[in-house]
Chains A and B, each alone.
Chain A
Amino acid sequence: MEIVPSQRTRTNTPNDSVSTLPLYRYAPQLEVRLEDFEVFAMDRLRVLKGISDALARGKRPEEMENLVRDLWKANMRHPEASEEVNKDIISHFVLRLVYCRTEDLRKWFLSMETALYRYRFLLRSSEAKRALMAEFDLPCKAISRTEFENVKEKLEQVARSFDQPLPTADAIFYKVPFEEVPELVAGRRVYIHKGHAYVAMHQVVSLVVTQFRSNLSKALILTNRKWTSTIREQERDRLTPIVEALSMSYLGPDYSQPKEFGEISIKDLDQLARSSFPLCMRHLFDKLREDHHLKHGGRMQLGLFLKGVGLRMEDALAFWKAEFSQKVGAERFDKEYAYSIRHNYGKEGKRTDYTPYSCQKIISLTPGVGDHHGCPYRHFSEENLSAALGRMGVGSRAMEDVLDKVRNRHYQLACTLTFEAVHGSSCDAGINHPNQYFSDSHKILQPKVEIVI
């Protein structure tokens, strides 16, 4: 762990430990037993993983608040309050080491820790919230009466647009640079004027979380540098194996390399699309065959999936070219589209071998005009979805179950039920990745194919 001046006196006072949250600014100056190092980290990972699953299922904020409280209680409690604070801090810093090492790991950890912080903050009393805001030293100041009167009408318009009670005369509003509250800006949940957002008291969580996120993001980069430059070598026999094992234990495979069934060839694609593609990919595949074109988002989603399925780059180029040239001509294909396919295979630009999109990523996409990517369970209208499911061979009873999951925004569960309906066998692990759908399907169908041959 990092050797830095101790600031623990602050978090150690009994009052604070009940009401406030640590800022995780400094690694703790504590002796940590090796077992605790690992056990604490596993406990925190359970919390983060629980949050990750819940977010992927589209849980509402109020559901999340309860869920986080329960997860924390179940995993992070300690009979002694001061020990609980220590466990919180130690586990956070251990996971920083675990999740600092690649862009993807950092991104996941950052989102989950930020979500965790958000709901823990919301669960605090208002005094504790104000104390935390002061500790964060946020770039905001409460607006004066006069200023409030000047913008009152606009603040009321914003409140009405979200069905919130209108601000009363004694309401506190903070004026902050709009950059500090991106999520409120994105949702048009604040009035913005000349670069400043007017943030209501009940929205300050957004400010705190943005600050938390930005601090942690920077810290992870620094931790990564320290890890690669010194810690990994120094701790080769002690911490390094633990750290490396911890990150593998939860994220699952990324499907960037087709391992299980080797390569597939173009002539099998149509057959495979019908038998083993999840709806999102099957839809893109059909649209491509129909329109001989897909917009960027669709090319990425389908292209990387096909790569994960085992289509070699030369075959991918031939496959896309055969379709696109019917629409734009072979020449324009070579000129405008071939580059990005080679790029996906890591042969151009940054030369990164890009990983296929996971369900979580696909669900979070926002397809626009002319787009066919995204998660059909989330982005299709009900009529279009039922029609598409019908074409996949989902019967009417199963269809009703699927649509029911969709209405409750359980998109991955809806996909799992579809899988079960189409394959006539259960899928206990659930669907988390289109390539997992494919490989599970392949595993079920493969033996039958061999028997036929």
Chain B
Amino acid sequence: MTKEESENGSDDMLIDGPKQGSVIPDGFNPNYLKVYYGRLFPHADIFKWMSYGNDGRHPGCDKSYFGRREFSFTLDNDIYLRFQSFNSESELENSIKEKCPSKIDIGPVYSVDPAKRHAYAQGGDNVFAPVERELIFDIDITDYDDVRYCCSGADVCLECWPLMTVAIKVIDTALRDDFGFDHILWVYSGRRGVHCWVCDGKARRLTNEQRGAIADYFRVYKGNENSNKKVSFPGPLHPFLVRSYTEVLREFFEEKLLLSQNLFSTEERYEKILSMIPDESVTSELRGKWQENRRSSNSKEDINFFRWEQLKNTLQSGKQKVQGLRRCVEEIVFAFTYPRLDMEVSKHRNHLLKAPFCVHPKTGRVCIPIDPKDCEEFDPTTVPTLSELLRELNTGDSRMDVDNEWEKTSLGKSIRFFRSSFLQPLLKSCKEEMESGYKAKIQQTKNSLSW
């Protein structure tokens, strides 16, 4: 068992050596990852989650279920291992510990064991196909580059992160209230965005077409690099958009984003907003006011706020009989704040998504769950990093007798949250679903026997 030896060797040196925790430098290091997978990563929880109650105990369960799930590993030397599958918790755990992947992705559950797909491919009957997959969403701050001025690309700060918070609020509410889903997990992607896993049985069984429909229901932002109008409402808003606007977006835009991003502070910035108004007379009136006001504006009121009020008054004044122009206010707010989803990820059952509790190789931060009820409190800059966790392991009281070492670290809070708010309710409903399905099946066979 060479793999375990090498693992223990490096662990011991790092953790129990004479040196203090403070010598663990920041940043990412494959050796740290070994320790992380060895002592902190919640293998058992991931296994329980991915089994959805098919743990072999219930007579109605599907024993092959977990074994048909695709995992894929990105190794340190950039080798990408797809179609990994495991038949038990220990197989999964041992493989992760042995291969020490810098990234673990989770794929769909296939009709047959994905590791043996080639054997089935010979049949020509195309039996190797995804059959179940969580409904997933991927929201990435880089897609907001045209509406944030504080950062760009993969960078994110506390000024622009609230765009993610708003996305969570809008999507989470709609998934629960509109679509009736209950088992939803939000995860920090480790650097620049969030992932969402909808795990209800009926979500996992959605066809590609149905997934596409949900993604389109959420799609407001239209147009691409080569068309001007990004958000455009042909008529009054659908109830879902009305709710998103009145409960989340309007307030966020007016009370946070307007000021934090200084949306009207320079000519270049207000011109961008004016370009969303399709009426020459309105835009030139506002432009006139703002150009001459540039110096004389000495009111205590913030210039962004002041100009926004002017814009709203002009667009919504009695003069503007055209309904479309009044709707421009909403269009601007949506263009700046409404969630931008990576549609392709949600539309197909075979898309891979990074597993929760992975460590982002660039930032060293752990992909921890985010509580949607408390998402405003989430701060990406204080998410535990690999090196911090190892320091905590080192300095933690070694006499403290705990079952799981993560309880000694700041990861503990996240794992406890994962279990209590997501995993336990999910497994409870899986059992119930399995129980009722089993009863119905028994009943059916009884009925057919009596005939």
Contact = CB atoms under 8 A, between A and B. Distances in A.
Interface stretch (A128-136, A191-199, A255-263, A303-311): A191-199
Contacts of B217: 185-186, 188, 192
Nearest to A369: B143
Contacts of B271: none
A160 B180 contact: no
Interface stretch (A27-35, A243-251, A371-379): A371-379
Interface in B22-81: 78, 80
Contacts of B82: 349
B382 interface: no
Interface stretch (B219-227, B400-408, B419-427): B219-227
Interface string B202-215: 10001001101110
Nearest to A384: B226
A335 interface: yes
A381 B228 contact: yes
Interface stretch (A78-86, A176-184, A408-416): A176-184
B440 interface: no
A323 B386 CA distance: 35
A185 B214 contact: yes
Nearest to A351: B121
A367 B224 contact: yes
B177 to A, nearest CB: 7
Contact of A186 (B78, B213, B235): B213
Given A188-B217, A194-B180, A380-B227, A158 B239 contact: yes
B18 interface: no
A369 B340 contact: yes
Contacts of B242: 157
B202 A368 contact: no
Interface residues of A, number: 45
A368 B224 contact: yes
Interface in A152-201: 154, 157-158, 160-163, 178-179, 182-183, 185-188, 191-196
Given A182-B210, A186-B216, A376 B240 contact: no
B179 A195 contact: yes
Contact of B124 (A194, A228, A349, A369): A228
A323 to B, nearest CB: 17
A16 B161 CA distance: 61
A366 interface: yes
Contacts of B222: 366
Nearest to A373: B224
Interface in B292-343: 340, 343
B71 to A, nearest CB: 16
A225 interface: yes
B125 interface: yes
B226 A376 contact: yes
A180 to B, nearest CB: 9
Contact of A179 (B206, B221, B238): B206
A296 interface: yes
A196 B222 CA distance: 26
Given A178-B179, A381-B228, 10 more contacts: A157-B242, A185-B213, A186-B212, A192-B217, A193-B178, A194-B177, A194-B178, A195-B179, A228-B125, A369-B340
